[in-house]
Amino acid sequence: MQFSSFANRYRQSTGTVQLMEDLGKATTAPGPIFQLGGGNPAHVPAVENLLRQAMTDLITDATRFGRMVGEYDAPGGNVAFREALADLLRDQFGWPLSVDNIALTNGSQSSFGILFNSFAGAFDDGSHKQVLLPLTPEYVGYFDVGLAETPIFEGRRADIELLPDRQFKYRLDIDHLDLTSNHGAVCVSRPTNPTGNVITDVEMAQLRTACHDAGVPLIVDGAYGLPFPGMIYTEATPFWDENTILLLSLSKLGLPGVRTGIVVATPEVIQLIRNTNAINNLAPSRVGPELITPLLHSRKLTALCDEIIRPYYEKRLRHALDVVNDAMAHLPVRVHKPEGALFIWLWFKDLPVTSEVLYQQLIADGVYVLAGHHFYPELHEGWRHQHECIRVNYAGDEAVVEKGLSLIADLVTRLYETGKP
């Protein structure tokens, strides 16, 4: 069998493939597994109860059920959902949005593929542009979607600010942003996967001005942010303007299986998403929109995020930090200031092995995490820091997180002491 160059791009494993494969393995493995990898949200009982009730309402209504499973949706996504979301965003944040500013996809991962390839790669004038990631480490899911022959991402190392209590925070180096005509867009996740960073309002304002002045869009991936799921544990103001492309998702509030991504942008961008949906998928899935629209109208989703989801993850975070402080007190470890999302990012300074070796050794103990280097585009070769960090998902069962973190502490202690596992 001979494969085309297109297929060859997909025939090798990548960070994203490894992440999703590990999730599958961990759910079927025979021995005890401590799943601290992947990006699954928690099974929060109050959230699942509300969703189950909404699904029951949906399937017992013959008209709505028939529509959901028996009719293709609009290629730009379900109109009633988009109207309800525009209404919520106008209400909550005062953004001047209508249905024409919102499109749906089969998950944000699909949105990334369309948008990054639309603003980077080859242009009709012969130029080649890249998406600038001004604050790496950044979300691993971005890196593999480029369809161009040459890399479509340029990543900048974040500045490291050391903080009390063995924490640190990545900061934007605005003075060296150097946006040029080689950049087609700038992208940040806020809150950031993998670090739990929430880029400050001041940093966002600086980025916004720089993008506006350079005439390139600012893509803000709000998969963990506002208005849902609202996993932000610090002060942060969301924004949208005509130069911003805001990406939202239903996944992290508890619906990753449903695959609903949301793009909030100008009508020009929305039409692009609509057309690529029609060409590649005919239409996006109708399940998420039919399920969630009533919860947008009633504002029950907003209440759920405020009253259940955010406090739930904050409690989980405090527990994970307590375990780290306890089990790793003797180690030269720092934790990125955890301000959002559902991960802690551990930095083992001068670790005698790479985080990839640490990752492999941890699998032997049944512990799944993600090695730090996956969160950098290729350009960062040579920066030791990227091989000293791991990402830990703390959303799972408390006992699993506790045991997993203590196994990490044991292994890392041996590594520092002997250089060997």
Ligand X SMILES: Cc1ncc(COP(=O)(O)O)c(C=O)c1O
Binding site for ligand X (CB under 6 A): 39, 107-109, 139, 141, 189, 193, 221, 223, 249, 251, 256, 261
Least separation, in Å, of the C-beta of 252 and ligand X?
7
Kindly tell me which of 117 and 251 has the beta carbon lying closer to ligand X: 251
Per-residue tokens: 399: 């006992």
Least separation, in Å, of the C-beta of 105 and ligand X?
8
Kindly tell me which of 256 and 421 has the beta carbon lying closer to ligand X: 256
Kindly tell me which of 221 and 290 has the beta carbon lying closer to ligand X: 221
Q: What is the largest CA-CA distance in the chain?
A: 66
Least separation, in Å, of the C-beta of 344 and ligand X?
14
Q: Is 191 exposed, middle or buried, given 0-12, 13-18 or 19+ CB atoms closer than 10 A? A: buried
Per-residue tokens: 8: 């060859």
Least separation, in Å, of the C-beta of 20 and ligand X?
10
DSSP string computed for 369-388: -EEGGGGS-GGGTT-GGGGS
Kindly tell me which of 136 and 361 has the beta carbon lying closer to ligand X: 136
With b meaning 16 or more CB within 10 Å and e meaning fewer, what string describes 236-273? bebebeeebbbbbbbbbbbbbebbbbbbbbbeebbebb
Identify each DSSP E strand in 15-84 by its residue range.
Answer: 34-35
Coil, helix or strand for 360?
Answer: helix
Report how far apart the first and last C-alpha atoms of the chain are (Å, whole number): 42
Cβ 415 vs Cβ 373: under 8 Å:
no
Kindly tell me which of 141 and 184 has the beta carbon lying closer to ligand X: 141
Least separation, in Å, of the C-beta of 135 and ligand X?
13
Kindly tell me which of 141 and 227 has the beta carbon lying closer to ligand X: 141
Least separation, in Å, of the C-beta of 215 and ligand X?
25
